[in-house]
C-alpha cells in the first residue's frame, strides 16, 4: 500500500500529515469488529480495479506503526469517513447528535482527521481554488490560517462557523493522529468532528501540526 511510506522510519518528534479528498464508502465487515456490521473505506482512483482501502487496512498502515513521540494528523474529506482510521475516542462540536452521547470537551486519542459521514449529503459549491479540495478541507485551512495558535476546541468551533456562514454542507481527525470529521445534526447541516487515540481536554490542548 502506497501510504506505508508516510510512517516508514518515523521517530520521536516527527509530525506527519495524511490528507484525502475524494470518495468514501461502506462495505460489509468480515472480521466482526464493527458494531454496525460495516467497514468504512476510502476509494482512490484505482479502487474499481484494486478495491477500496478499508479502515482496518488504514489503521494497520499508518496508525499502528507510529512510535512514541510521533504525531499524525489525518484530514479526510470523504463520505463515510467518520471512523476510517479506527480511532477509539470521538468528539463533536454540537451539544448533542442523534444516536450519540452528549458533547464532552474531554477527548482521548492521538489522531485527528476530517471527513464526511453521510453519502447522501451534497457538498456545497466552492470558489476556486477550493472546489477541488472539498468543503471540509477548505474550512479547516481557513480556520488554521485565521488563528494559527489555537486549541483543538477552538479549531472545531471555527470550522463549524465557517461551514455555517458559507451556507452549505461541509466536512473534516493529531498527537499520534487525530481526525476531524463531519456528521449530520438535526438541521441537516454537517458538523466537524474530532477522533483521537487518547483522551485529552480539547480546550487546553494546543493545535500544532
First to last CA, the chain: 24
Task: Identify whether 208 is part of a domain.
Answer: no
Task: Identify whether 1 is part of a domain.
Answer: no
pTM to 2 decimal places: 0.71
Task: Identify whether 175 is part of a domain.
Answer: yes
Rounded CA-CA distance 120/144 in Å is 28
Task: Identify whether 36 is part of a domain.
Answer: yes
Given a cut of 80, whether residue 105 has pLDDT beyond it is no
Whole domain around residue 139: which residue ranges?
15-201
pLDDT at 21: 84
Domain total of the chain = 1
Burial 44-68 (b: 16+ CB within 10 A, else e): eeeeeeeebbbbbbbbebbbeebee
**Kind and range of the H or E element at 106?**
strand 106-108
Task: Identify whether 9 is part of a domain.
Answer: no
How many residues are present in the chain? 209
CATH number of residue 81's parent domain: 3.40.50.12660
Which cell numbers hold the place of 208? 500544532
Task: Identify whether 7 is part of a domain.
Answer: no
Given a cut of 80, whether residue 185 has pLDDT beyond it is no
pLDDT at 186: 31
Q: Specify the higher pLDDT residue, 31 or 59.
A: 59
**Kind and range of the H or E element at 160?**
helix 152-165
Task: Identify whether 99 is part of a domain.
Answer: yes
pLDDT at 206: 92
Residues 137-172: pLDDT tens digits? 888 889 999 988 999 999 988 988 887 776 543 333
Rounded CA-CA distance 138/128 in Å is 11
Task: Identify whether 5 is part of a domain.
Answer: no
Rounded CA-CA distance 19/186 in Å is 28
Residues 8-21: pLDDT tens digits? 999 999 999 998 88
- Exposed / middle / buried, residue 99 (Cβ in 10 Å: 0-12, 13-18, 19+): exposed
Amino acid at each position: 500500500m502506497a501510504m506505508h511510506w508516510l510512517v516508514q522510519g518515523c521517530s520521536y518528534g516527527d509530525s506527519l500529515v495524511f490528507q484525502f479528498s475524494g470518495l468514501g464508502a461502506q462495505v460489509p465487515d468480515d472480521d466482526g469488529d464493527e458494531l454496525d456490521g460495516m467497514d468504512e473505506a476510502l476509494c482512490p482512483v484505482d479502487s474499481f480495479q484494486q478495491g477500496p482501502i478499508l479502515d482496518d487496512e488504514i489503521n494497520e498502515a499508518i496508525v499502528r506503526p507510529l512510535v512514541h513521540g510521533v504525531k499524525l494528523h489525518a484530514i479526510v474529506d470523504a463520505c463515510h469517513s467518520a471512523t476510517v482510521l479506527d480511532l477509539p475516542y470521538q468528539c463533536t462540536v454540537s451539544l448533542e447528535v442523534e444516536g450519540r452521547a452528549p458533547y464532552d470537551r474531554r477527548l482521548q486519542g492521538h489522531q485527528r482527521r476530517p471527513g464526511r459521514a453521510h453519502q447522501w449529503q451534497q457538498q456545497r459549491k466552492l470558489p476556486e481554488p477550493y472546489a477541488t479540495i472539498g468543503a471540509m478541507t477548505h474550512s479547516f485551512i481557513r480556520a488554521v490560517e485565521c488563528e494559527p495558535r489555537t486549541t483543538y476546541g477552538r479549531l472545531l468551533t471555527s470550522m463549524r462557523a465557517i461551514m455555517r456562514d458559507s451556507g452549505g454542507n461541509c466536512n473534516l481527525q493529531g498527537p499520534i493522529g487525530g481526525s476531524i470529521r463531519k456528521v449530520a445534526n438535526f438541521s441537516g447541516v454537517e458538523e466537524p468532528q474530532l477522533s483521537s487515540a487518547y483522551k485529552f481536554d480539547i480546550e487546553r490542548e494546543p493545535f500544532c501540526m
